[in-house]
Structure 1
Amino acid sequence: MKFATAAAMLAAVLGSPVAAQNFTSAAEVRPILDMTRGSWVAIREYGGKDLVYFTHLLAWRCGLREIRYGFNGAAPNTPFKMEQCHDGAAQPNAISGDGVFVSQPGGSVKEVRVKLIYDDGTTDEARFTRDQILMR
């Protein structure tokens, strides 16, 4: 039932059946990323480190040209390396690698700023405090 609701929301936003979309352009992924802004990044404390995950953004990367980030007040100027879109594949946004996070010293990440550059050149930014995105 959860999937049906999400699919209906996406169809309403995109104006066409979800199954017909490849989600490989800014026009297709921007509405999804707008609706899921609070899930763009997450922090996991593991092995004495802060692991800052970009998994959600990577799942919609085919409509993005670049993901940039900054920690603790720094401008989001550091590029996050993301794998290429799997054009021509049944699931072009599938994540095949393990490069989904950035490791930082434990407890050091108090804030994450993210800047998205879409494939059409438009941008979007968000700022998250540790408490907003800490996985518990």
Structure 2
Amino acid sequence: MIPAISACAILMSGAVALSGATLHRVSSPAAPASPSSPSAPADPGMKPEDQTVTGRFTTATEVKPILTATKQSWVALREYNGQDLLYVTQILSWRCGLLGLRIGVNNAPMQNWPLPACHMGTATPNALTPQDGLPYLNLPLSSVQSIQIELIYDDLTTDTGSFERAAVLMP
């Protein structure tokens, strides 16, 4: 399980506080600890999950090519109602092949973003439902200048991305 990070506290409501921001999320199981660097193997206590391809996009083997091809869409930023809304919808849409998601804003230390459970008993396990929470952070208007992302796949490989405000700001 991911150890608690001091700047990221799970609140009684199931939301997560990230340096004054609110991550809209319902309670979900914690993801495994992430590696110390993008090329490092994941936590030695972790075991890779079975990578049998099922066509349901629930393994790293199935989702990694999609997330790699869409890396420039991992995050989006929207100025709305006096706030910056930082979206990770693209990542959450392929979360079933992930063990962890970490996010940093403006080069602050990376924080764990709890991943909603996959809906394995349905036709679309990666679907986002209202019970999964909203896929964005609320941050002060114009405060986000850069975003850093780290993905930990369920085969224990990792990938990272860095994004500047202008490159991900929606009109």
Q: Shorter-chain-normalised TM-score: which range?
A: 0.7 to 0.9
> SS at 1:73's partner residue?
coil
> SS at 2:58's partner residue?
coil
Name the residue aligned to 2:99.
65
Name the residue aligned to 2:113.
80
Structure 2 counterpart of 1:52, from 68, 71, 86: 86
Instruction: State the Cα deviation string for residues 28-61 of structure 1 (Å, max 9, x = none).
Output: 0000001000000100101111000011101000
> SS at 1:34's partner residue?
helix
> SS at 1:127's partner residue?
strand
d(CA) in 1 for partners of 2:137 and 2:115?
12
Name the residue aligned to 2:55.
21
Equivalent AA in structure 1 for residue 97 of structure 2: G
Q: State the TM-score, normalizing by the size of structure 1.
A: 0.82
The gaps in structure 1 that reach 5 residues or longer are: 1-19
Name the residue aligned to 1:93.
126
Structure 1 counterpart of 2:163, from 114, 124, 128: 128
d(CA) in 2 for partners of 1:83 and 1:33?
17
> SS at 1:74's partner residue?
coil
Deviation, 1:26, is 0.4
Name the residue aligned to 1:110.
145
Q: State the TM-score, normalizing by the size of structure 2.
A: 0.66
Deviation, 1:21, is 1.2
d(CA) in 2 for partners of 1:109 and 1:53?
12
RMSD: 1.1
Deviation, 1:74, is 2.3
d(CA) in 2 for partners of 1:118 and 1:87?
17
Instruction: State the Cα deviation string for residues 10-31 of structure 1 (Å, max 9, x = none).
Output: xxxxxxxxxx611000010000
Structure 2 counterpart of 1:35, from 41, 45, 69: 69
> SS at 1:83's partner residue?
coil
Identity %: 46
Instruction: State the Cα deviation string for residues 87-124 of structure 1 (Å, max 9, x = none).
Output: 12100000003320011100000000000011111110
Instruction: Work out the number of aligned pairs and report it.
Output: 116
Moved segments of 4+, more than 3 Å: none
